């Protein structure tokens, strides 16, 4: 027997969220990473679950508790994250918050890389990771509402607009990470869509999450009109 859907504005909706950084191995003891804390993505998962959604949270390596009622899938690399997103489909809403590493080491070493004593510095050959959001934007099972994030340190809105088109997303939520946003408690975001730009004031990440989920509930309840 299936439990009846939880009440709430997102009852019956499956929401897939990616969060956190990815780690890309160099060798068994080293990796490439970034400063993403996972807080904004986890806050969105919590807010979506509170709104009654069935939530799949695909999390890179972070030390954060799983929000109540959320199904969590832990991954390490961008490629694992891409596979976990595929496996979670279909969904009604996808929110790609993860700071996916853009590049991975072409061939991670099987053993720890050693200095050879000559002072020679070994090069790291990088290759590009799959773009999870862009793949979803052009996928057969494209979610009806597809949302990306864009962390920018300058020209925030312009870059977000370019990403909206390039990735086939419905919204790009741009945040200015030139301050201490990555890892910090607050966030200032701009929701960029074909309808224009909606800027929210600076607030705690949990409040940003609730505002975004309220907007998601709003558009899901509007009949689609071509």
Return binding residues for CTP.
102, 112, 130-133, 149, 163, 167
Which x/- pattern, by CB under 6 A, does the window 153-192 give for ligand CTP?
----------x-----------------------------
35 three-class SS? coil
Cα 56 from Cα 38, distance rounded (Å): 15
The footprint of ligand CTP on residues 53-82 (CB under 6 A) is 78
Smallest Cα–Cα separation from 190: which of 173, 212, 211? 173
Binds ligand CTP (CB under 6 A): choice among 40, 77, 129, 193: 129
Nearer to ligand CTP, 52 or 104 (CB): 104
Min CB(53)–ligand CTP separation in Å: 19
Applying CB under 6 A, does 132 fall inside the site for ligand CTP? yes
Applying CB under 6 A, does 96 fall inside the site for ligand CTP? yes
Contact, 14 vs 91, CB < 8 A? yes
Binds ligand CTP (CB under 6 A): choice among 16, 100, 146, 189: 100
Cα 181 from Cα 116, distance rounded (Å): 40
Nearer to ligand CTP, 54 or 77 (CB): 77
- Find the Cα–Cα–Cα–Cα dihedral 46, 73, 85, 174, rounded to 10°: 40
Full strand arrangement of the beta sheet holding 70-74: 70-74, 54-59, 14-19, 93-96, 145-152, 171-176, 189-193, 196-199
- Three-state SS for 157-211 is HHHHHHHHHHHCCCEEEEEECCCCCCCCCEECEEEEECCEEEECCCEEHHHHHHH
Contacting range for Ca ion; rule: CB under 5 A; set: 9-17, 32-40, 101-109, 187-195: 101-109
Applying CB under 5 A, does 102 fall inside the site for Ca ion? yes
Which of Ca ion, ligand CTP, none does residue 78 bind to, with CB < 5 to 8 Å depending on kind? ligand CTP
Q: Active site includes 175?
A: no
Cα-based distances in Å from 93 to 5, 69, 73, 159: 16, 17, 17, 23
Applying CB under 6 A, does 216 fall inside the site for ligand CTP? no
Q: Give catalytic residue positions.
A: 34
> Which residues bind to Ca ion, rule: CB under 5 A?
102
Q: Give residues in contact with ligand CTP (CB under 6 A).
A: 18, 78, 96, 98, 100, 102, 129, 131-133, 148-151, 163
């Amino acid at each position: 027997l299936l439990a009846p859907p939880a009440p709430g504005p997102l009852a019956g909706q499956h929401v897939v969220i990616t969060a956190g950084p990815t780690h890309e191995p160099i060798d068994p003891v080293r990796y490439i990473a970034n400063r993403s804390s996972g807080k904004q993505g986890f806050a969105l998962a919590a807010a979506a679950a509170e709104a009654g959604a069935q939530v799949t949270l695909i999390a890179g390596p972070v030390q954060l508790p799983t929000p109540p009622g959320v199904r969590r899938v832990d991954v390490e690399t961008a490629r694992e994250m891409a596979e976990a997103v595929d496996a979670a489909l279909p969904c009604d809403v996808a929110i790609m918050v993860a700071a996916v590493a853009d590049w991975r080491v072409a061939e991670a070493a099987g053993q720890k890389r050693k200095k050879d004593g000559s002072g020679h510095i070994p090069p790291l050959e990088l290759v590009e990771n799959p773009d999870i959001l862009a793949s979803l934007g052009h996928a057969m099972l494209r979610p009806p509402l597809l949302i990306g994030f864009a962390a920018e340190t300058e020209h925030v809105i312009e870059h977000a607009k370019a990403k909206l088109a390039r990735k086939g997303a419905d919204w790009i939520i741009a945040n200015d990470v030139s301050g201490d946003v990555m890892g910090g408690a607050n966030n200032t975001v701009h929701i960029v869509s074909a309808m224009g730009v909606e800027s929210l004031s600076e607030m705690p990440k949990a409040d940003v999450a609730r505002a975004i989920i309220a907007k998601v509930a709003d558009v899901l309840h509007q009949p689609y009109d071509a």
